[in-house]
Amino acid sequence: MAIKHTLVTAVAVVAALALIGAGLTGAGFGISGDTGVCVPAPTAGAPSAPASSGLDDEQTGNATTIAATGARLGVPQRGWVIAVATAMQESALRNLAGGDRDSVGLFQQRPSMGWGTAAQLRDPRYAATAFYQRLVKVAGWEQMPLTVAAQAVQRSAYPDAYAKHESAATALVNTIAAGAMVPVCPPVGAQGWVAPVTAPVVSGFRTADRPGHQGVDLGAARGTLIRAAAAGRVVQAVCNVSPPEHGCDQDGSPAVGGCGWYADLDHGAGVITRYCHMAARPLVHIGQHVPAGAPLGHVGSSGNSSGPHLHFEVHLRGDAGPSGAVPPLEWMAAHGAPLGQT
């Protein structure tokens, strides 16, 4: 049986389960159904990840089981990558009957350390569930480097060994997720930029009546998907509101301060973009690398806002404060992704 056939068959399970996980990941203020992940459109003639990975049917099937288990449990896709990379290191994605001392299974978990019986740990679904249950109890695991998060669960004698599998695990999980109805990123311009929403400009940059307005407001409807304007790393994904007790899980008002739920992306070369007033917690986490067009969250009205819209900023020189802000309309137009389109 070809690896491709194994992956397609197994992915049917992930497809249904990923939708459950997606609803959990995007939950909040009536918004659900997106996972914060999209995969780049395939390049013509480019091989798929499994075909070029050197994995056989058993290894690909085990990776898919790990991902499917994470989807069923509602674990964000970052957790799937951590789990698959861990199994790559511990067992080369093989369901081993033994190992060091009493270690068994995909994750080389030990019955003597409270993971379960040897028979249970030879069940890939049980072993993956046990891994995820411990992972999600690690405070801040989504913001940790992969090797740190994996080590917090595994307590390996070789704590740095997991890092070398991150790229391969990410490619494999992205392929599995793509088969599981994770959306393809939208087309981007030749310079790598895309408008974060398609909506008219309803308030400009540093206007006469709003000289402290460091971005532009795009009048998209509540629930509209907000996309990364370019590839980058998430450096903020938090609630910023004053007074703090107002919170971000309800609409703000002109009397409330702050960006509400918002995300900042670092695109390199000192360029930072900001996305404010989301309807719920961002779909991405700090430290996550996202492609252009990746879902970041949904349009809302949290924080200093009088109605649903996206407040979008562009900053240069690595300065995320007012002195680094530049007019977004000019910047995006110069980079092939004009704003204000309807």
Residue 19 sits in which domain range? Answer: 3-179
Integer Cα distance of 140 and 24 in angstroms: 18
Within a 10 A sphere around the Cβ of 334, how many other Cβ atoms? Answer: 11
Q: Write the CB contacts of 24 (distance below 8 Å, at least 6 apart in sequence).
A: 74
Q: Give the model's pLDDT for residue 26.
A: 34
Integer Cα distance of 268 and 77 in angstroms: 24
128 with 213, same domain: the answer is: no
149 with 205, same domain: the answer is: no
Q: Give the model's pLDDT for residue 184.
A: 60
The CATH number for 282's domain is: 2.70.70.10
Residue ending a domain, among 179, 210, 242, is 179
DSSP secondary structure code for residue 61 in this structure? H
Establish if 190 belongs to a structural domain.
no
107 with 215, same domain: the answer is: no
- Ramachandran angles phi, psi of 24, nearest 5°: -70, -40
Strand ranges inside 122-256, DSSP E: 201-203, 216-218, 225-227, 232-242
Q: Give the model's pLDDT for residue 28.
A: 34
Q: Give the model's pLDDT for residue 22.
A: 37
How do strand 289-290 and strand 295-298 relate by DSSP bridges? unpaired
Establish if 166 belongs to a structural domain.
yes
Establish if 312 belongs to a structural domain.
yes
Q: Which residues pair with 272 in a beta bridge?
A: 266, 315
162 with 303, same domain: the answer is: no
221 with 133, same domain: the answer is: no
95, 120 Cβ separation under 8 angstroms: no
160 with 127, same domain: the answer is: yes
User: Model pTM greater than 0.75?
Assistant: no
Establish if 100 belongs to a structural domain.
yes
pLDDT in tens, 255-305: 999 999 999 999 999 999 999 999 999 988 888 888 899 889 899 999 999
31 with 160, same domain: the answer is: yes
Integer Cα distance of 187 and 197 in angstroms: 13
227 with 139, same domain: the answer is: no
Establish if 89 belongs to a structural domain.
yes
144 with 269, same domain: the answer is: no
57 with 104, same domain: the answer is: yes
The first and second tokens of residue 225, run together, are 């998907």
Establish if 269 belongs to a structural domain.
yes
The number of distinct structural domains making up the chain is: 2
Q: Please give the C-alpha separations between residue 170 and each of 70, 136, 176, 265, in angstroms, as whole numbers.
A: 14, 19, 10, 20
139 with 215, same domain: the answer is: no
Per-residue pLDDT of the chain (342 residues; tens, 9 = 90+): 344 444 444 444 444 444 334 333 333 333 334 555 565 554 443 334 444 457 887 888 889 889 888 887 878 888 999 999 999 999 999 999 887 788 899 999 989 888 889 999 988 989 999 999 999 999 989 888 898 999 999 887 666 788 888 888 888 888 887 655 455 677 888 899 999 999 999 999 999 999 999 999 999 999 898 999 999 999 999 999 999 999 999 999 999 999 999 999 999 999 999 999 999 999 888 888 888 998 898 999 999 999 999 999 999 999 999 999 999 999 999 999 999 876
Establish if 123 belongs to a structural domain.
yes
Establish if 30 belongs to a structural domain.
yes
47 with 86, same domain: the answer is: yes
Q: Which residues pair with 273 in a beta bridge?
A: 265, 314
